[in-house]
Amino acid sequence: MLRLIKKILTRVLLLLVVVALGYFIVLPKVLPIKYREQVEKYAKMYDVEESLIYAVIFCESRFNPDAHSRAGAKGLMQVTTETGWWVASRVDSLDVDTLDLKDPETSIAVGTWYLQWLEEKFGDVQPTVLAAYNAGHGKVSQWLDDNQYSEDGYHLEEIPFPETNSYVRKVELVQKLYKIFYRL
């Protein structure tokens, strides 16, 4: 009987070690928390959930500040130059002439402000906000005005762009993971 108890306790201890290693070694590599200071700063400044900012950064650039897309978006939060200029023209602390979207601080400031603006515009309906972040707020406004895609003008029953639909689902899933594993 004592041998069985030792065997069970050994297995439980081994399992706890494996779980701890996974949590403290593997998790930060698979689902990283980087640029914490900037994310916390702009999340608080613009009242956007940290988990959402991390999820957008993860899905957009995998935390690579030099990332760029075929659509011309760049930086951690994959903002286009035009959107960056538009945001900078509305935020006192940003200068349109020196805007560097590959700079992590600037990218997070611009991307988070834009998320907050989209939340206000689309009534905090997160799937709609994320669709607008990906496809553009003008395109999403058109979809919301079309009964084929929205019954109430706030919620998208269908997202006609498969890439945008996939993006929304991916960001929502990654955000849930950040909330669960990092308690954000």
123 with 94: CB under 8 angstroms?
A: no
Using only C-alpha atoms, what is the Rg of the chain? 20
Does 40 qualify as catalytic in the annotation?
Answer: no
Asked if residue 114 and residue 75 are part of one domain, the reply reads: yes
Spacing of C-alpha 7 from chain mean position: 44
The helix (H) or strand (E) run that includes residue 13 is helix 2-21
Count of structural domains, the chain: 2
Spacing of C-alpha 121 from chain mean position: 18
Q: Which two tokens stand for residue 158?
A: 């269908």
CB-CB neighbours of 151 under 10 Å:
11
In this structure, which amino acid lies at residue 111?
A: G
Asked if residue 72 and residue 143 are part of one domain, the reply reads: yes
102 with 113: CB under 8 angstroms?
A: no
Asked if residue 15 and residue 72 are part of one domain, the reply reads: no
Would you give per-residue pLDDT tens digits along the chain (184 residues)? 777 676 676 766 555 555 555 555 656 777 999 999 999 999 999 999 999 999 999 999 999 999 999 989 999 999 999 999 999 999 999 998 999 999 999 999 999 999 999 999 999 999 999 999 999 999 999 999 999 999 999 999 999 999 999 999 999 999 999 999 899 8
Asked if residue 20 and residue 85 are part of one domain, the reply reads: no
Q: What pLDDT score does 24 carry?
A: 58
Check 60, 157, 158, 163 and give the catalytic one: 60
Domain region containing 22 = 1-30
In this structure, which amino acid lies at residue 129?
A: V
Asked if residue 61 and residue 4 are part of one domain, the reply reads: no
Asked if residue 151 and residue 61 are part of one domain, the reply reads: yes
Short-list 62, 67, 70, 114, CA closest to 88: 114
